[in-house]
């Protein structure tokens, strides 16, 4: 009888240990993500930014790199820089990591059309 109780308790202890270690791996850790941007766009790469989709914080690119606070559970999305608030771009989303290498493809007709339409709205002449 004592052996059954000891086996049961050791099984429960093992279950709790592995469950706790799995849960701790899923906890989000905050860090500064370094995002590099490559693009085939005719627009200056400094006109782009990266946004943390959870917090809404946006950081602009300088010399092809941006730094943004994120957690391991966050997603980062390529957007237009905060200086171009009237221009919208919903770029690719990337899982947040210490180092992210992003690529914005402007050869897709939808992306290019939406960028220029948004620029025309912001900077075009009002009749």
Higher pLDDT, 126 or 59: 59
pTM of the full structure: 0.64
Between these two residues, 113 and 74, which has the higher pLDDT value? 74
More confident residue, 113 or 105: 105
pLDDT digits (tens, 9 = 90+) for 18-29: 665 555 445 779
Residue 111 domain-assigned (yes or no): yes
Domain count, the chain: 1
Residue 101 falls within a domain, yes or no?
yes
In a domain, 98, yes or no: yes
The domain spanning residue 72 has which CATH number? 2.60.40
Asked whether residue 2 is assigned to any structural domain, the reply reads no
Q: Are strands 48-52 and 75-80 parallel, antiparallel or unpaired?
A: antiparallel
**Structural domain includes residue 56:** yes
Domain-embedded: residue 71: yes
Domain annotation covers residue 3: no
Domain that holds residue 33: 28-123
What mean pLDDT is predicted for residues 92-119?
80
Pick the closest to residue 94 from 51, 44, 32 (CA basis): 51
User: At a CB cut-off of 8 Å and minimum separation 6, what does 48 contact?
Assistant: 37, 39, 60, 61, 78, 79, 80, 81, 89, 91, 104
What is residue 72's predicted lDDT score, i.e. its pLDDT? 93
Q: Is 111 exposed, middle or buried (0-12, 13-18, 19+ CB in 10 A)?
A: middle
Residue 15 lies in a domain: no
In the predicted structure, residue 112 carries a pLDDT above the cut 90: no
């Amino acid at each position: 009888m004592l052996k059954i109780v000891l086996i049961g308790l050791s099984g429960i202890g093992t279950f709790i240990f592995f469950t706790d270690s799995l849960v701790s791996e899923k906890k989000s850790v905050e860090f500064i993500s370094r995002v590099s941007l490559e693009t085939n766009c005719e627009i200056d790469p400094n006109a782009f930014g990266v946004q943390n989709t959870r917090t809404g914080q946006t950081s602009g690119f300088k010399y092809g790199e941006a730094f943004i606070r994120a957690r391991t559970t966050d997603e980062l999305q390529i957007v237009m820089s905060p200086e171009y608030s009237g221009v919208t771009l919903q770029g690719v989303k990337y899982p947040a990591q210490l180092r992210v290498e992003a690529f914005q493809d402007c050869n897709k007709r939808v992306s290019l059309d939406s960028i220029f339409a948004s620029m025309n709205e912001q900077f075009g002449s009002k009749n």
